[in-house]
Each structure stands twice: as structure tokens, then as C-alpha cells.
Amino acid sequence: MNNTSTALITGASGGIGMELARIHASKGNDVVIVARSEKKLQALKKELELTHKINAWIIVADLSKPESAKTIYEKTQQLGIKVSILINNAGLGGHGLFHQRDLSEDQAMIQINLVSLTNLTHYYLKDMVKDGYGKILNVSSTASFMPGPLQSVYYGTKAYVTSFTQAIAEEVKDYNITVTALCPGAVTTGFIASGNLEGISAWNNAKSAKSVAMIGYKDMQRGKLVSFNEGLLQFVLTWIIPLLPRKVVLKVSRYSMEKQI
């Protein structure tokens, strides 16, 4: 077992998470892959171990459950796996007017995107500090840079992720630990269907999960604070949006999330 570079990746059964697992394993590193679908995880485990001759462990977990993060951490402890890279990729979206949406769906989104991410970071970061080494990649979104009418809770959770990531990065910089927020724009993954986002123009030019994963992984290894996959979008979000009147930002943001079908 390669104890110095074992990565735990949530949401690894598809999309960005699966591509990150493939990238990490391709470099000869072990992985712990986490998701709800045991069937998909077993298929990925077989692929990674056969292709790259590494160890891949699977943990079946539903991160919408409050106890899930602790259960995952305890499982890796029982197996004697030292996680030196934590990739919090699992995420949930949803579309619609907040007051009309099912509250339980938004509560699950908060639990996955925000609470479980925070809890996993807490458990594994403590060990990284003890060991004097570690890397964390939190998959956030360009949505974290503005409010999002019609996706109010999703945008809010991602704003937390980007802010939280930068804050703890500053706290642990003297422990040889880096923390990176990956903030992609639209990505072609199962997230579109699961979040009821079909017909939204913002996804017309969505980038591939593989391309986003490659940029995020590279920036994590470099210890970059915030990682973007689109330069123009980064410029608009960091230099233009902050200068615009808030009501204009809200209007544009809402328009980008309105369905065209």
C-alpha cells in the first residue's frame, strides 16, 4: 500500500469524481472511492486495479445521512488506510423557486454539499496535521461567486465551500498542507439530470468532466488556492461581477438559470 499518496474521493461513481480517481490511480497511487452505488464502485475498482496495478478500496455511503462522514472515517481507520489526499467531490443540485421546492431535497443538498464535506475535512485534516502533510481538494463551483435565483440553496452551499476552503488553507499552511477549491463552470455530468437542469442555456457549452478533473488535480498538486477551468469566466467573476450593482447581478444570474424549453 502506498501510504504517502492514498486519496479518498467522494462521489467517485461518475463525473468529475470518477475522472479524478482515474488520474490519481494512473500515477501509481492507491484510492478509496466513495459513493452510493456499490455496482458502479465495483466496476471502477476493477478498472483501476487492472489498468494501473494499484489498490482501490470501496466504501458505499450516502452523504445525505448525518452519520456518513464519521462512518467513512472510521472505516478507513479500521482498514489501516492513511489518507493523505482528501477530495470532497460529492455534490447535489436542484432547480426551482425555493418556496415551491421540496424542503427535504434542499436539506439533503445542504447535508451533502456542506455538512458532510465539513465533517470529512475535520476528521482527515486532524490526521494530516499530525503527519505534517496533506492535500485537500474541495469541488465547489463558479456558482459560489454570486447568489443564484432558482438555485438558491445550491449557490449558497457552494459559496460556503469556497469561503471555508480558503479559510482553512490559511490556517494549515504552516503544516505542509494545502487546501484547494475547484470552481468549474458547467460540466457535462449526471448532475444536469439529477438537478433538473435540462433546458438551461448555461449548460449549452458545458465542459467535459475529464478536462475539469485534469485542471483540478494539477492545481491541487500545485497547492493553488482557487482553481478555475475557464479563464474568461474567472475574469468575469473576479473582476466584473463584484463591480456591478447587486440587482443587476441577480437579474443576470436568474436569467442564466431560467429554462428555455
Hey, which residues are catalytic here? 154, 158
Element holding 104 (H helix, E strand): helix 103-110
Closest CA relative to residue 85, chosen from 220, 181, 227: 220
**Long-range contacts at 185-189 (CB < 8 A, ≥ 24 apart):** 185/141, 185/142, 185/229, 185/230, 185/233, 187/15, 187/16, 187/212, 189/14, 189/15, 189/16
Our CA angle for 154, 156, 157, nearest 5°, is 70
Q: Count, in order, helices (H) and strands (E) of the chain.
A: 10, 9
